[in-house]
Amino acid sequence: MSVRVGDAAAAPDFQKAAKRLIANTQLRHNVRRATDVIRAKRAKVVAEVPEWEQLREAGHRIKEHTLRHLAAYLEQFENACVRAGGQVHWARDADEANRIIVDVVQTAYRNRAGSISDQMEVIKVKTMTSDEIGLNRALEAAGIVPHETDLADLVVQLGEDRPSHIVVPALHRNRAEIRRIFMEKMKLDELGERPEDLAEAARKYLREKFLRVRVAVSGANYAIAETGSVCVVESEGNGRMCLSLPEVLISLVGIEKVIPRLEDLEVFLQLLPRSATGERMNPYNSLWTGITPGDGPREFHVVLLDNGRTNVLRDAASRETLDCIRCGACLNVCPVYRQTGGHAYGSVYAGPIGAILTPQLQSMEHSTSLPYASSLCGACYEVCPVKIDIPEILIHLRSKVVEQGGAPLAERLAMKAASFAFAGKGRMEAAQKLTRIGQWPFAHGGKIRSLPGMLAGWTAVRDLQTAPKESFRQWWARREQNHDLQRGASS
């Protein structure tokens, strides 16, 4: 089995990628603007719900319970889905999932046309999981043309770009950039500048595909074990078109997306829209069960994807990462994401959740810089609708990097030196003395303006104040001595 998360294995370190992206002023402006808007909307609609904390707790508990009994719920889902006329496939990794989907698409075209002359195409509902497994590339390699139909995904696809946000994949683009992409790729001579002009262009471009293409690929927000139903929520209605018009529907579902009962949706359909887009309810909530003759797709396939998820389950200290309902709230509040945008994370999963999910899916091998892509400010944990303690998991993953010998030598030595110095009073005093001696070549007027090596990043933008001549403990000792002398003199 080989787990692959998009191109994350080949992505540069977060630090390096961030450095490059921070120089992109347009991108940073777009990201700040967009996240400010979504944050404010979220804060407003969350404040309307007095029982928000209980809802978060309920979401957390349902996910915790489900993951503890995941195998049983997955089998229950499979049985119910098959009973309702669906076909369920199990995929261990990205390659297996891609093969299954390509095979279903090819079979669909063969059965229908009886000839291969038809151009094989699929329309896609927004699915980050398909980006995780690199589905579009696999489809193209098999001669199948994928069409993204989510507006933001369409912008990413036409712009030959990568998604930078799990809910708003083109969040790093502004209206002017989108207009330029549309004009070029849709071959339009004229296009207005208003949002409705852009929407109209996309509508015309997509409608034709909705009516023509016979096979659709979707992701899933929830798979309901009790009924075998699959649920997709979205804002545009383009998803609804893909889910209802084609003859064959394939839903790619990460195994952690299963929830036990239909009534559990009550919790998640409140948590998700308010957290994700600051809406009270998603404009489109699609829920379907198997197939219904004469209504919707005639063939329905579910591909249950592992791709490293059982690895994540193994570690009790961090398995709650799989609770994630992909709302993106942690990205929108993250002060690090705010500066870099999503591409710095080198994965389809960006932001705080990406920083803990990607390294775990890939068993840490290729993404040792991600657990450090956080100041541990805790804003992500505060907004997470299912209470994933992201800062704590980041620290846990950092300890794994250290255990595996992945931390830089200079840092390991510095940490060793510090733990040696902090072992007791005598050593601490000696270290403080060394600090005062060591700083003098760099100190000017109580400030250090330039330092070498690892610390150069600090003094690139900040002065560092020097350690004063007397530490607190020395001052205290002197004060105690004076007190003793005074007491001695007065007795």
Partner 1 sequence: MLISLFIGCYNDTLFPETGKAVVAVLERLGNRVEFRQAQTCCGQMHYNTGYLGEALPLMKHFLDVFRTAETICIPSSSCVAMIRDHYPKMAAGDPSLEREVRELLPKVYEFSELLVSKLDVVEVGASFPHTVTLHPSCHSLRSLHIGSKPERLLQHVRGLKLLPLPAADQCCGFGGTFAIKNAEVSAAMLAEKVQCILDSGAEICTALDNSCLMHIGGALSRQRTGLRCLHLAEILASTEAGASK
Q: Which residues bind partner 1 (CB under 8 A)?
A: 14-15, 18-19, 22, 28, 335-336, 338-340, 371-379, 381-382, 392, 395, 397-402, 407, 411, 415-416, 418-419, 421-425, 428, 432, 435, 447, 449, 454-458, 460-465, 467-468, 470-473, 475-477
Beta strands in 92-176 (DSSP E): 121-124, 145-148
As a whole number of angstroms, the distance between CA 8 and CA 308 comes to 14
**By C-beta, is 161 or 463 nearer to partner 1?**
463
**By C-beta, is 142 or 407 nearer to partner 1?**
407
Residue closest to 105 by CA, chosen among 138, 154, 151, 150: 138
The distance of closest approach from Cβ of residue 338 to partner 1 in the complex, given in angstroms and rounded to an integer, is: 8
Neighbours of 378 (CB within 10 A): 14
Contact 215, 105 (CB under 8 A): yes
**By C-beta, is 292 or 375 nearer to partner 1?**
375
**By C-beta, is 261 or 483 nearer to partner 1?**
483
The distance of closest approach from Cβ of residue 170 to partner 1 in the complex, given in angstroms and rounded to an integer, is: 22
As a whole number of angstroms, the distance between CA 26 and CA 443 comes to 38
The distance of closest approach from Cβ of residue 152 to partner 1 in the complex, given in angstroms and rounded to an integer, is: 25
The distance of closest approach from Cβ of residue 377 to partner 1 in the complex, given in angstroms and rounded to an integer, is: 4
The distance of closest approach from Cβ of residue 13 to partner 1 in the complex, given in angstroms and rounded to an integer, is: 10
**By C-beta, is 24 or 285 nearer to partner 1?**
24
**By C-beta, is 118 or 382 nearer to partner 1?**
382
- Going 87 to 88 to 92 to 98, the CA torsion angle's sign is positive
As a whole number of angstroms, the distance between CA 9 and CA 94 comes to 13
The residue with tokens 């980006």 is: 131
**By C-beta, is 12 or 335 nearer to partner 1?**
335
**By C-beta, is 82 or 467 nearer to partner 1?**
467
As a whole number of angstroms, the distance between CA 346 and CA 27 comes to 16
The residues near 113 (Cβ < 8 Å, ≥ 6 apart) are none
**By C-beta, is 22 or 145 nearer to partner 1?**
22
Contact 364, 400 (CB under 8 A): yes
In terms of DSSP bridges, do strands 464-465 and 222-224 run parallel, antiparallel, or are they unpaired?
Answer: unpaired
In terms of DSSP bridges, do strands 248-254 and 229-234 run parallel, antiparallel, or are they unpaired?
Answer: unpaired
The distance of closest approach from Cβ of residue 67 to partner 1 in the complex, given in angstroms and rounded to an integer, is: 20
Neighbours of 295 (CB within 10 A): 9
The distance of closest approach from Cβ of residue 24 to partner 1 in the complex, given in angstroms and rounded to an integer, is: 11
**By C-beta, is 33 or 194 nearer to partner 1?**
33
Contact 14, 369 (CB under 8 A): yes
The distance of closest approach from Cβ of residue 12 to partner 1 in the complex, given in angstroms and rounded to an integer, is: 13
The distance of closest approach from Cβ of residue 428 to partner 1 in the complex, given in angstroms and rounded to an integer, is: 5
The distance of closest approach from Cβ of residue 415 to partner 1 in the complex, given in angstroms and rounded to an integer, is: 5
Q: Would you call 427 helix, strand, or coil by DSSP? A: helix
DSSP per-residue string spanning 262-322: GGGHHHHHHHHHHHHTS-SS-SEEEEEES-BTTBS-SEEEEEEE-TTHHHHHH-TTTGGGG
**By C-beta, is 145 or 407 nearer to partner 1?**
407
The residue with tokens 């270290």 is: 431
The distance of closest approach from Cβ of residue 358 to partner 1 in the complex, given in angstroms and rounded to an integer, is: 17
The residues near 431 (Cβ < 8 Å, ≥ 6 apart) are 421
Tell me 369's DSSP state: T
* Conformational region of residue 6, where left means phi above 0, alpha means psi within -120 to 50, and beta covers everything else: left
As a whole number of angstroms, the distance between CA 109 and CA 132 comes to 25
